């Protein structure tokens, strides 16, 4: 009977985990303590990474088009590096997928990678017009 109850509790926790964002198949974070079932402490979620504005090598320009991860700044095309940090001028994160613009003139500050990432933007700050 105890095994059956334990399976039911874990099954219930697995189903509840789907509702709170656990991936299917992930083991539930539970521990047995003195015969009682309790949730294991969770690690704090990391804060979203911010652009390092003090990093040397920043450039400024005017973004005129952004499409499918390619940006046109001052008549030059750049590709967004995988994992590039993108923010608006207020420090709010922007998703690369949302950057589908044409016929715009937006001031930008950006950092270009070095070496093999020489034409890839690693950090980008976009000043959106009001």
β pairing state of 120-126 and 76-88: parallel
CATH number assigned to the domain comprising residue 80 = 2.40.50
Q: What pLDDT digit, counting tens, does each position of 55-82 carry? A: 999 999 999 999 999 999 999 999 999 9
Question: Does the residue 44 lie in any domain?
Answer: no
Identify the pLDDT of residue 29.
42
Collapsed DSSP state (helix, strand, coil) of residue 44: coil
- At residue 115, the pLDDT reads 74
Domain of 114?
59-126
Alpha helices in the chain (DSSP H): 2-20
E strands in 14-119 = 30-33, 36-39, 59-67, 70-73, 76-88, 101-112
The pLDDT of residue 58 is: 95
Percentage of the chain with pLDDT > 90? 50
> Looking at residue 47, what is its pLDDT?
41
Q: Mark the ranges of the chain whose per-residue pLDDT is less than 50.
A: 2-47
Is residue 51 in some structural domain?
Answer: no
Name the domain count of the chain: 2
């Amino acid at each position: 009977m105890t095994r059956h109850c334990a399976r039911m509790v874990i099954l219930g926790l697995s189903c509840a985990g789907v509702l709170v964002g656990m991936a299917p198949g992930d083991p539930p974070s539970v521990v047995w303590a003195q015969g009682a079932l309790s949730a294991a402490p969770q690690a704090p979620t990391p804060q979203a990474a911010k652009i390092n504005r003090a990093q040397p090598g920043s450039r400024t320009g005017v973004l005129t088009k952004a499409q499918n991860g390619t940006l046109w700044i001052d008549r030059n095309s750049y590709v967004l590096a995988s994992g590039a940090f993108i923010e608006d001028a207020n420090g709010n994160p922007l998703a690369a997928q949302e950057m589908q613009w044409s016929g715009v003139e937006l001031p930008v500050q950006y950092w270009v990678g070095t070496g093999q990432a020489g034409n890839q933007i690693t950090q980008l700050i976009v000043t959106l017009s009001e």
